[in-house]
Structure formats: C-alpha cells, structure tokens
Amino acid sequence: MKRHGQSLITVALAAALAAFAALVDNDYYLRIVFMACVYYLCAAGVNVLVGYAGQKSLGQAGLFAAGAYTAALLTSRWQIDPWLALAAAPVVAGVFGVLIALPSLRVKGPYLAMVTLAFGIVVEKIVTEWVDLFGGPSGLFGIMPLTWGGNAFTNQQWVWFALVLCVVTQLLLRNVLDGRFGRALLSVQADEIASSSVGVRVYRAKVIAFVVAAVTCGIAGALVAQQNQYINSDFITFNLSIFILLLVLFGGAGSKAGPAVGAIALTIIDALLARWPSVQHFFYGALLLFALYFMPGGVMGLFSPRARRAADAQPQESGEPAPPAAQRPPVAAQEDLLLVVENLCKAYGGVKPAQDISFCLRRGHVHALIGPNGAGKSTLINMLSGVVIPDAGVIRFRGTDIAGERSHAICALGIGRSFQNLRLFGDLSVLDNVLLGRHSRMKNGFWASLLGLPGARAEERRAREDAYRLVRLVGLAHLAGTPAGSLPYGLQRRVELARALATEPTLLLLDEPAAGLNPQETAELGELLLRVGTSCGITLLMVEHHMDLVMAISDHVIVLDYGIKIAEGKPAQVQADKRVIEAYLGTGMA
C-alpha cells in the first residue's frame, strides 16, 4: 500500500504541473517548471550517490556537460536525429560516470570530493579551451530540438515531456531503492566491512551509484541543450555542481521525495534571485551551511525520523514454528572436514598475530577458539572471512583455497560471521539488517529490480519472509521494525547473529558473541547457538572468553597464545593442559 501511495502522489503532482503548463501561456513560468524538472533529474541520481551510497561528489557539472555536449555535437555537427541524440546522452554520461568512479573510489571522505571536483573543473576547461570541437566560450549553436509530428516541441510540450521523464525516473529509482540494491547502498554508507561480510560487492555498488547519478545528469544536460538549441561553458560551472548537491541536501539526502522538494523549492528561489547574481551565490552558500549544520535531514527530515524502518507491514506469519531444537547428530556421522588451515601466517612489522597456525574444522561440530588477549584470535577470524589477507598459508574451505579472497566472495561460498565489536547498520531496522544477510542469496539482478519485474518482486517477498523467520528464531519478531542501533546491547548481538544466519552459512564464525552479556544472557545465547547448530546443520567456530560457555557447548577447542597454537582437543583435555593453564593463569598459579 505504501508503494502504491507513493506512486499516486508522484503521478498526481506531475498531473497538477502538467495542467498548470496547459493553462499558462507565459513562457517564463513554463521555463521555471521545465528547469525544476531538469534539476529534479540531476538531484534524483545524485541522491542515490550521496544519500544512499554516502559518496560525496562535486563533479556533477562535468557529467551534465557530457550529456549536453553529446546531444549538441550529434545534432549540430553530424545531423543525427535529436531523439537518437537524447538516447545517446545518458550512455555517454554513464561511461564518464564509470571513468570518474574508478579513481575516485580509491579515496574516501574529503579526498573523494576533491577528485570529483577536479573532474568537473577539467571538463569545464576542456569545453572552454577546445574551440574547434566544443566552440569554446561561444559554444555550439544550431542544436536540433526534439520534434513531434515534424514540428519542434513547444514550451508546453517540453514541460510535459520533462514531467514524463521525472515520473519514470522516480518510479524506476523507487524500484531499485526499495529493494536489494537500495539496502546494499545503505549498508555501504554505514559500514563497508560489515557490508562486504554479508555478501555485498562494495566496489560494484559504488560504481552503480556513480553511473546512476551520471545517467540522470546526462539526460538533464541533453534536455537543456536541445530545449535552448545552444550550449556553452557558462552552463557547466562549478556553481552547478554546488547547486545540485544543495538540491539533495536541502530536500533531504536519502529521502525519495527529497530531490523533488529541493528541486521545486530552489528553482523558485533561483528565479526570484536571478536578477541579483551576487546575492544569489551568497544565498546558496549560506543555505548549504544551514542545511549541513541545522537541518542535516533536509526538509523531509523535519517530517519523518531519520531511522529507516521496515516495510509498513511485517510479513504475515505462516504459522510455522521456529526451527526446533533437534538432537545433535552423532559425531561419527560428521567426520568429514569442512575447513583446513595450514601454516597460516600474518605479521604487522614485528608483531606476529599468526605464526604457522594449522587446524581442521569438522562438519556439524561446535569449535571454540580461545586464548589470552592479544593471542591473535580475531586476526585469525578476519583472515578466514577475508577481512585480512594472510601473508602465507592455505585456507581450504570445502576443497577450495580461499586465502586472499574478498569478503563478499567468501560469504557467497558459505562462510558467515559476526564481529567482536558490533557492526550493525544502526539506522536500518532489525528486519532490514537481516534482509541484508540475504543479499548474496537473492537472484534478482539490477535490471530486473530497476524495471520492477514480477520475478524481482517475488524474490524480494521470499527474502523478506526468510528474514522474518530468522528474526523470530532469535526472539525479536516484536522488534522487527525497530532501528537496530536503538536496541539494548544483548539484543543487538542477536540481530547480528540473525544477519549472519541469513547468509545461509555452512560455517559460522562468531567473534566473542557473549562479549558484554550478563550471565543470564550468556546462558540464553549458548542455548540459541546449540539450537542453531543442530537445527540448521551449521558448523560453528566461536572466539570466546567465557569459559563456562565454551565448556558447555563446544565439541572441540583450539588455543592460541601470541599467535601460536599451543593446544587443541576436547574441552576437558584442553582445560587440563599445562600450557593452557600457564597461558591463562601463569606458572605460579599452575
């Protein structure tokens, strides 16, 4: 119902503006509506890049120029049909989006903004100085406009066509952002390491965001060039990049309605201040500072909380109970090796948290990895999950060497994990956190999601039902729509466990899952882990300091001390080992 309501509002607003254009003959007013549509197209794409993926860009003027000059050159120099030129503009801009993304994504924060800013400045200089191709400051004349029935578009038809493009853009982006890829972009913005650990291809997600922003800016640039039938470097100054970013921040970055609010409001303000350029630029700077410091959620943030909730209604319970706590299968039936580690090494200068570590994990067992602080336990878990690349050694999972593979690839193979320090996506709901764990298991691709095909909608529905079952399994069904970051610490641990289970792991790595829990919560966690291991057939490797938990649920214990494996075996054997006692208690106590 929420999706249909958004669609109706979008169509109703566009219809109202179309009716206004039909009733008004004043070209100035029609121009304002047309430019509001152009700015919306720019802001809608940049909202994906800035509001969802969290990548700050100041080079959108260059991408606007790519679309504008593509349409201009194809029609004025080579007499290509203007409709084909319009179709080519977003393609060329998308290619530039990839080119700017590749070097930009090697840096973060203000450095990313500087790289994109440099791109915009370089494009402006090229079109200004390359007179033979781009016409220099004089620009390009004779650009062919769009036609209908052999006649050039009137101002009213330009408004109507731009409104159609805006509606289509809004609906297509909604399809993407409400589903698998929208969640992936939000996870990248929140925590790239955690995002990769649940199967999101972080680099690819960022490139997609850059391309979406480039395509919409390219379309907007082509519309301006063809409507004006003229383009020059004055259209693509640095001020345009700032203005597009301001549209997003003022309307509300990360809000689907934010770009439309920002475009309408600032286009009207821009028209009112057009006769005073100096005041206009000062006002934009002041408004940008105001939006950043006093209204970080933008206009839309004043009407809705920043925290992102689950869809309006939680999935209907099918009446199926949570998976039962079945009896653990006999150990003799589970003797095949799942993970083999041989001579694994890692050093940070003189510090060596892993020195020729070798061990095996067997299917269906609960394994514990223990040792004093600084023994190298978390480093080992990070190497197994791809967060840290080992210096030497072999990690063979189900017969495949995965040493040095990326986290998302290891997750796809069947290794899930939790973190010592919680890495939840705090602004997302409990259900959306668990849904992100389903990312690598979902089959709907970007184009199917963009077009809202039935298969993509069905895949999203199944993933939501699976995620909700896991939320029920960890006892958080009543909190499914609550932002994960607002939960008590013990419940956040359960959310992270459910998110890891959603990746459908064969091997689950738990880095101190009982850290920060009280004795009762620790006992409940132990029961939950046993239930997960037995009912879901998952092998567990748990880093833990709570010895009562380790001894209660573990089949096999591995002990590290200063990066060296000093013992392994059954819990009782390890507990009585002299080297383990010395490592934990010292020789005097032994």
pLDDT tens string 264-310: 999 998 888 877 777 777 777 787 777 777 777 888 877 765 444 44
Residue type, 499: R
pLDDT, the chain, mean: 87
Q: What's residue 469's pLDDT?
A: 93
SS3 (DSSP) at 366? strand
Q: Please state which of the ranges 298-302, 314-318, 493-497 shows the lowest mean pLDDT.
A: 314-318
Q: Which residue has the higher pLDDT, 172 or 420?
A: 172
Token duo for residue 417: 């994990």
The residues pairing with 540 across neighbouring beta strands, listed in sequence order, are 366, 508
pLDDT in tens, 60-70: 999 999 999 99
Angle made by CA atoms 173, 85, 268, in degrees to the nearest 5: 55
**In the predicted model, is pLDDT for residue 589 greater than 70?**
no
Q: At what angle do helices 238-251 and 110-129 cross, to 10 degrees?
A: 140
Kind of pairing, strands 147-148 and 337-348? unpaired
Model pLDDT for residues 92-109, shown as the tens digit of each residue: 999 999 988 887 777 777
Phi-psi region of 194 (alpha: psi -120 to 50; beta: other; left: phi over 0): alpha
Residue 324, pLDDT > 70, answer: no
Question: Which range has the worst mean pLDDT, 139-143, 331-335, 492-496, 566-570?
Answer: 331-335
Tens-place pLDDT, residues 196-244:
999 999 999 999 999 999 999 999 999 999 999 999 988 888 889 988 9
Neighbours of 468 (CB within 10 A): 22
pLDDT of residue 319: 43
Domain ranges for the chain, please list them.
Answer: 2-237, 330-414+505-590, 427-503
Of the candidate ranges 80-84, 218-222, 502-506, 520-524, the one whose mean pLDDT is the lowest: 520-524
**Residue 498 predicted with pLDDT over 90:** yes
Please state the φ and ψ torsions of residue 504, each to the nearest 5 degrees.
Answer: 55, 55
Q: Find the mean pLDDT for residues 309-335.
A: 43
Going by DSSP bridges, is the β-strand pair 151-152/147-148 parallel, antiparallel, or unpaired?
A: antiparallel
**Rounded CA gap, 163 and 160, in Å?**
5
pLDDT over 70 percentage in the chain: 93
Spatial separation of the C-alpha atoms in residues 590 and 579, rounded to whole Å = 9
Q: Residues of the chain with pLDDT > 90: what percent?
A: 55
Residue listed under structure tokens 């899930």: 416
| pLDDT on residue 315 | 54
Residue 333 has pLDDT above 60, yes or no: no
Q: Which 8-state DSSP code applies to residue 252?
A: -
CB count in 10 Å sphere of residue 157: 17
List Cβ neighbours of 340 (8 Å cut-off, separation of 6 or more).
Answer: 360, 361, 394, 395, 396
Q: Are 396 and 370 in contact (CB under 8 A)?
A: no
Q: Are residues 152 and 265 in contact, defined by beta-carbon separation less than 8 angstroms? A: no
pLDDT of residue 168: 94
User: What span, in angstroms and rounded, lies between the C-alpha atoms of 204 and 526?
Assistant: 37
Q: Looking at residue 207, what is its pLDDT?
A: 93
pLDDT at 305: 52
What pLDDT shows up at residue 219?
97
Name the architecture of domain 330-414+505-590. Answer: 3-Layer(aba) Sandwich (3.40)
* pLDDT score for 580: 86
Task: Tell me the two tokens of residue 494.
Answer: 């359960």
What confidence category does residue 169 fall into, taking pLDDT thresholds of 50, 70 and 90?
A: very high
pTM of the model: 0.88
